[in-house]
Amino acid sequence: MYVVVGLGNPGKDYANTRHNVGFNTIDILSERNNIKLNKIKFKSVYGEGIIGNKKVMLVKPQTYMNNSGISLREISQFYKLPIENIIVIVDDIDIDFASIRIRAKGSAGSHNGLKSIIYHLQNDNFPRVKIGIGKKRHEKQDLADFVLSKFSKEETIDIQSAILTSAEAVECIIKHGIDKAMNQYNSRTNRAQD
């Protein structure tokens, strides 16, 4: 089984903010694969279904971003999953806007959601799909204010395209493996080098 976790903050106030692109990607995966997000457990809203021929659980933690790892630890302990079968979808301020970057493992960087997951799982060997959400408007802008802001009209078309691409990338990881997904999606032109 694969567990696909989109990071974000629950509640209307946070809907469609930069920090919630992970939630938005889970919604697209849910639609594309006819997996209803209709269960509540593990401090999350989730749904179960099939992508390719693999059993998949789509998860939106409801713990707020900084405690995302609590939900994931409960799921991981319950299902005794291999760490590489947990795919995390996350926003990233360090790659080009609306670009996708797939990593098989790695540090959290400055992302509090990833920090929480690594802390609670005691492991950073899980794949992650990163979506570039842009850079702060100016040096003095508070990072929290920036990531909790909404996209401009001009940005929305590109970010919606990036969210769809990230959903396709997750499907590729599940169906064909992380290496094929990295080759296919990280090598696209207009992708950032990080």
Residues taking part in catalysis: 19
Cβ contacts of residue 182 below 8 Å, gap of 6+? 102, 103, 104
**CA-closest candidate to residue 3, choices 67, 65, 43, 60:** 60
DSSP state of 192: P
Residue 26, classed as helix, strand or coil, is helix
Q: Are strands 100-103 and 128-132 parallel, antiparallel or unpaired?
A: antiparallel
Report the chain's terminal Cα–Cα distance, integer Å.
30
H or E element that contains 55: strand 54-61
Task: Report the distance separating Cα 66 and Cα 117, nearest Å.
Answer: 9
